[in-house]
Amino acid sequence: MKKPALERPVLLDVQDITRLYGPAKGCEAIDFQLHAGEVLGIVGESGSGKSTLLRVLAGLEAPDAGRVVYRRHAGEDVLDRDEAELDLYAIGEAQRRALLRLEWGLVHQNPRDGLRMGVSAGANIGERLMAQGQRHYGQLRETGQAWMRQVELDAGRIDDAPRTFSGGMQQRLQIARTLVTRPRLVFMDEPTGGLDVSVQARLLDMLRTLVRSLGLSVVLVTHDLAVARLLAHRLMVMRRGQVVETGLTDQILDDPQHEYTQLLVSSVLTP
Amino acid sequence: MNGYNFAYLDEQTKRMIRRALLKAVAIPGYQVPFGGREMPMPYGWGTGGVQLTASILGADDILKVIDQGADDTTNAVSIRHFFQRVAGVETTTATTAADVIQTRHRIPETPLRSGQILVFQVPIPEPLRFIEPSEQETRLMHALEEYGVMHVKLYEDIARYGHIATTYAYPVKVDGRYVMDPSPIPKFDNPKLDGNPALMLFGAGREKRLYAIPPYTRVESLDFEDHPFEIQRWEHSCALCGSDHSYLDEVITDDKGGRMFVCSDTDYCQTRRGEVA
């Protein structure tokens, strides 16, 4: 009898990443593994290096030292062993950009950074598909409308420009645009930052549903512990470029060990 | 003419441009940077095309210059005069008689033959520019063949107007590799780029880029499967020569709504009228 694998396969193996702009500015000696289907939260104050780390992980900025290894076929039948392990900064730029565009996704804090503001919502959602080589207008449009419904946007507004959308709707659009190619790994940088509380709550709810239904693996950077508690399975607490504590989300938030984590948890305002 | 080298440019500059042209011909559709010179005319009047023409012109060549298809418009007349003065070459208005044709916004209706060279004046050589302002990024996109955004533009056209509303500077893929801006020719002329026996050179003076389509090169216009590429059609025929298959200009003849449609290619139109008469 085949036993189910208890340990989920490693999707992203981060080995000793250092990227410093100056002493204690940036991130230093970061080591962790992300398993398939896992949501990892990175929390910390402003300037703790969490965004730098995300940029390095997402392939936007080369690290000073260390490796980011992506195990492409984790959890599936390994058909092609040479392709199975990709060292993000050792592979060529063409391959890295193709990976970022097609298998990975990045959700920016400000939807204006992730969207093309000059073209319609439908064109935004379709862009990654067109980059993959889809050349059928009708199908692109159907997919666009399906995704708009999935992120709870009015599909009738497919031809409207993103600038006519509210902040929360723009963020939903950015998420649809990113997820349309069914990426396996998504990086999110403060996806609910700058939104008001009720909009945040609905967006988080939607994100949680999507993560579960699509089986996404997510690296989530946030300074908001409530967001982290709702979405993340596991947390990494950063301070001054270093990881001070890691563990399961509930464990970290309910029983913080490091004094900085204790400070962080006790600083949360409760109405 | 005293004080000037043959065809205005000095020989070193011509060699530099010819070397860039050889590279452009070797890599069809690829934009080659070149050290553009100041010409005695403003940017936007065809400085790119003029430099290319000056570099390839020989003393025995016969030159034709057209602007929007016409031999008698300001741009065409002044560039033709320029080369008459600084190179003393013979000029013509007949497409069939010309060795080198410098053009702005049109390809002649008369089919070109092997051995002829068509020089285009290009304002913005980068087809990706409208969606990606960074030159560094667009070069990378060309290098990695990341051309998905070109279809974003066409998608947007269909979403907004119900059909592909781009009518000039319609993007093409050259030899299955580089996406290229064919300069602001009407898309009516795009099919003439494909497999043309003449050598086609493109020069952008302000941006200091040149590119080429060698003879008999495959050139495809980008489109969607369910919205294929189409050229313009008119319900009218040319009011002067009666042609029903050439590119027509609409000319307003009075202030009471009077108008007529005539060929934009004046040489083609006159030749046809001569044959009919």
**pLDDT tens digit string along A10-64?**
899 999 999 999 887 889 999 999 998 899 999 988 888 898 999 999 999 999 9
Closest CA of chain A from B126, distance in Å = 18
Closest CA of chain B from A171, distance in Å = 20
What per-residue string of b and e applies to A23-61 under the rule 16 or more CB within 10 Å gives b?
A: eeebbbebebebbbbbbbbbbbeeebbbbbbbbbbbbee
CA distances from B248 to B167, B171, B229, B264 (A): 14, 22, 19, 5
Task: Answer for the pair A198, A222: CB distance below 8 angstroms, yes or no.
Answer: no
**Domain A10-268 bears CATH identifier 3.40.50.300:** yes
Q: Which residues of chain A neighbour B165 with C-beta distances below 8 Å?
A: none
- Selection from B196, B155, B154, B149 nearest residue B175 by Cα: B196
User: Are A130 and B155 in contact (CB < 8 Å)?
Assistant: yes
CA dist B10 and B51 (Å) reads: 11
CA dist B153 and B158 (Å) reads: 9
CATH level 2 (architecture), domain B11-221: 3-Layer(aba) Sandwich (3.40)
Interacting residues of B15 by C-beta distance below 8 A, sequence separation 6+: none
CB neighbourhood size of B118 (10 A): 24
B52-79 mean pLDDT: 95
Interface confidence, given as ipTM, is 0.82
Task: Provide the CA A216 distance to its chain's centre, in angstroms.
Answer: 9
Helices A197-214 & A167-179 angle (0-180, nearest 10): 10
Confidence of residue B223 (pLDDT cuts 50, 70, 90): very high
Kind plus residue range of the DSSP H or E element containing B26: helix B11-26
CA distances from B41 to B4, B38, B46, B48, B270 (A): 16, 8, 8, 11, 30
Q: Which residues of chain A neighbour B158 with C-beta distances below 8 Å?
A: 137
Kind plus residue range of the DSSP H or E element containing B201: strand B199-204
pTM of the model: 0.85
Residues 145-184 of A with CB under 8 A from B: 158-159
User: Are B144 and A136 in contact (CB < 8 Å)?
Assistant: no
Task: Provide the CA B109 distance to its chain's centre, in angstroms.
Answer: 13
- Name the 3-class secondary structure at A104: strand
Closest CA of chain A from B82, distance in Å = 42
Q: pLDDT tens across B154-199, in order? A: 999 999 999 999 999 999 999 999 999 999 999 999 999 999 999 9
User: Are A158 and B159 in contact (CB < 8 Å)?
Assistant: yes
CA distances from A236 to A121, B61, B218 (A): 35, 74, 55
Q: Which residues of chain B neighbour A118 with C-beta distances below 8 Å?
A: 131
Q: Is A131 at the interface with chain B, CB within 8 A?
A: yes
User: Are A137 and B146 in contact (CB < 8 Å)?
Assistant: no
Q: What are the catalytic residues of B?
A: 29, 238, 241, 263, 269
CB neighbourhood size of A165 (10 A): 19
Counting one residue from chain A and one from chain B, the pairs whose CB atoms sit within 8 A come to 59
